[in-house]
Amino acid sequence: MPKNHYKVADARLTDASNLTSKILSIVKRDSNPKDLGFFSSSTTLSNKITVASSVDGVGTKSRIFKYFGDYSNLGHDIVNHCVNDILPSGAKPLIFLDYLAFSSINEVDILRVVEGISEACQYVGCSLAGGETAQMTDIYESGDLEIVGFMMGLIEEKKRPKLNTIRSGDLVVGIPSNGLHTNGYTLVRKIFNIEKNQDVLNSLVPGTRFSLGEMLTSPHKSYFHLLWDSLEHIKSIAHITGGGIPGNAGRSIPDDFKVVVNTKAWEIPNLFRFIKDFGKVTETEMYNVFNMGLGMLVIIDSSKKDLILDLNDEMKVVGHIEKRMPREAKVVLKRN
């Protein structure tokens, strides 16, 4: 019978959300960043220059690489995650800085991570401006690696989100992910008991030609080149990360609207089906933890449908915008 693998998962998600709200209330007291709570915050430096900034980490995904995969993928992970966080603000990547912390780890693996970071920065025209490494033997276990990145980008005015133009009837377009990206790995490691059963990483994912290890170590996809030239035609973007569609889609719209997503509008990738079936995970938990095959949601006027769908033949209309009544959820998943 399907079950919730985190007995306190819902409480943890609620606690995390409450903590974020409290942090934002502190930050707003003494600083002037705009868009706090969006996927990145923006700061005006002068009349002509506004920047967006974001900081994030790869979480426990790095633990998979103890047993499987090319460490350079983790470098791509952290850069691409940050790229996708500043993109909804209409920002072009400018500089990136990294922070790597560990107890003891193979020097070659660290260098592979940095090589991946460098490659990913070059791909989006971003300068790798610096970084920090910290060895903390009493904090991390041997082989553990904490990877955190900070990115700043220049916002182009015409590419900013147009939240004030969002209306009922606007379309929600889903852009495919290429796997878990950088979220959900704590649950996956628990389901497959990876620390005690590394052989499972060599198992083929049903319906694919790839092993579980290959799919779990695939790097977070960057959407910069796909969307940058079309941002003028896009009203808003949601980067689907921790919290899945329910936890992220609502961040991209005003409070008086809601996102209605039809979960039958796209094919759920085999990897997520495998995780759900193997772990007997409830559908609700799957959507609250994983991106379920959609790495981004793009909100557009219906008149822009063909223009946006022509960017990639795997993009699909997966929902629409409706007016939201007080106390209604900002994100509604329809499973019919």
Each of the 336 residues of the chain gets a pLDDT tens digit; together they read 455 654 444 445 556 556 666 766 666 555 555 554 557 777 878 778 899 999 999 999 999 999 999 999 999 999 999 999 999 999 999 999 999 999 988 899 999 999 999 999 999 999 999 999 999 999 998 889 999 999 999 999 999 999 999 999 999 999 999 999 999 999 999 999 999 999 999 999 999 999 999 999 999 999 999 999 999 999 999 999 999 999 999 999 999 999 999 999 999 999 999 999 999 999 999 999 999 999 999 999 999 999 999 999 999 999 999 999 989 999 999 987
Using CA atoms, how far residue 235 sits from 159, 170, 238, 294, in Å, is: 9, 9, 11, 18
One-letter amino acid at 92 equals K
End-to-end CA distance of the chain: 22
Q: Which domains does the chain have, with CATH numbers?
A: 32-157 (3.30.1330.10), 163-334 (3.90.650.10)
Rg (CA), the chain: 20
Characterize the bridge pairing of strands 331-334 and 257-262: parallel
The residues with which 155 forms a beta bridge, in sequence order, are 91
Other CB atoms within 10 A of residue 177 CB: 23
pTM for the predicted model, two decimal places? 0.90
